Amino acid sequence: MLHILSVNDLTDDFLYSLWSDASKRKGKSNNSLKGKVLTNLFYEPSTRTSSSFYSAMSSCGGSVIPINNVQFSSVAKGESFEDTVMTMSAMSNAIVVRHPDNGAADIAAKVSSVPIINAGDGNSEHPTQTIIDGFTIYNFFNKKLSNLRVTLVGDLKNGRTVKSLVKLLNRFDNNHFNFVSPKNLSLSLDLPKSSYETSDINEVLKETDVLYVTRVQKERGSVHDYSLTLKQLESLPESSIVMHPFPRVNEIPVEFDKDRRAKYFEQIRYGLWCRQILLERVMK
Ligand code: CP
């Protein structure tokens, strides 16, 4: 049984094969998952992750049990997380779990009789976002994930997409990381060998191939406001790309959206492409 709990569950071969199939298929519908059922079990809000799993499943001919707000489920009556997972594993072929606690997906995997896909656990990991983010970089840098200068900015302490992406990119040769945040929101991971930490984005803008912007996670107690200016973004190298896992609050001005370096809406589109293939692999 294939659980996707962490980026560590995604081998390079698995990713290359998934991305290759996603590139060929480009989100087109088929009936590969006809008769299969997915549960979306979300203990935290989501727009992209829950909807793109829904869209991926239905475009492959399968169905979804959408528990997108556990306050309207028996969790509100006091049902435990483990009992909820065991219940849903009795009526579905896989469960996508988002939860505010680190390690929740691992707990789910221990009690589930079907594959668990971690859709974000606390401030720990968000491996399926990293499948999409890796695919975006792979696509726009001629199928390479090495020799890149990657600048990550925002709430690095709580950004689970950042942690998963750094784990992935740190596997490849000669990647250099710039971590940009206020001191109280700095990365809560061991830093990769080639890293630089600063609170001033202007120091590293021109030394950036991939700018990965994240929002401040107020729901995890982070307090800070920042936004990049159009002028700062326009000073990035012409060959760079700008990514954001979204939701965006006010980190990137909407005027930048039409710049060809802005790839955040591509990331959202790739969510469907990649999750279709991921669901086929997990439910086969
Ligand atoms: N990127 C992402 O996880 O977005 P949602 O919170 O809307 O699912």
Residue pair 97/108 in contact (Cβ under 8 Å)? The answer is yes
- To test ligand 1's pocket by mutation, which of 41, 46, 129, 136 has the most ligand atoms within 8 angstroms of CB? 46
Closest atom of ligand 1 to 44 CA is 6
CA of 64 to the centre of ligand 1 (A): 18
Q: Is 245 in the pocket of ligand 1 (CB under 6 A)?
A: yes
Whole-number percent of the chain with pLDDT over 70: 100
Closest atom of ligand 1 to 126 CA is 3
Q: Is 247 in the pocket of ligand 1 (CB under 6 A)?
A: yes
pTM of the model: 0.96
CA of 56 to the centre of ligand 1 (A): 15
Closest atom of ligand 1 to 271 CA is 1
The CA distance from 10 to 46, in Å, is 23
- What is the structure's pLDDT at 107? 98
- What is the structure's pLDDT at 83? 98
Tens digit of each residue's pLDDT (9 = 90 or more) over 173-189: 999 999 999 988 998 78
136: exposed, middle or buried (C-beta count within 10 Å: 0-12, 13-18, 19+)? buried
- Judged by average pLDDT, the poorest of 55-64, 131-140, 212-221 is 212-221
Q: Is 281 in the pocket of ligand 1 (CB under 6 A)?
A: no
CATH 3.40.50.1970, applies to 7-125+268-283? no
**Domain ranges, ordered by start, for the chain:** 7-125+268-283, 128-267
Closest atom of ligand 1 to 120 CA is 3
Tens digit of each residue's pLDDT (9 = 90 or more) over 216-263: 888 888 877 789 999 999 999 999 999 999 999 989 999 999 999 999
Give the domain 128-267 fold. Answer: Rossmann fold (3.40.50)
The CA distance from 48 to 55, in Å, is 10
Tens digit of each residue's pLDDT (9 = 90 or more) over 31-49: 999 999 999 999 999 999 9
Q: Is 188 in the pocket of ligand 1 (CB under 6 A)?
A: no
Residue 284: band (very low, low, confident or very high) from pLDDT cuts 50, 70, 90: confident
Same fold for the domain at 7-125+268-283 and the one at 128-267? yes
Q: In the structure encoding, which two tokens stand for residue 116, read together?
A: 């668990």
Across all residues in the chain, what is the average pLDDT? 96
- What is the structure's pLDDT at 99? 97
Chain centroid, CA 237 distance in Å: 25
Q: How far is CA 226 from CA 216, 237, 243, in A?
A: 8, 22, 16
- What is the structure's pLDDT at 189? 82
CA of 268 to the centre of ligand 1 (A): 9
Residue whose CA lies nearest to ligand 1 atom number 6: 46
Q: In the structure encoding, which two tokens stand for residue 229, read together?
A: 């200016």
Tens digit of each residue's pLDDT (9 = 90 or more) over 99-138: 999 999 999 999 999 999 999 999 999 999 999 999 999 9
Residue 208: band (very low, low, confident or very high) from pLDDT cuts 50, 70, 90: very high
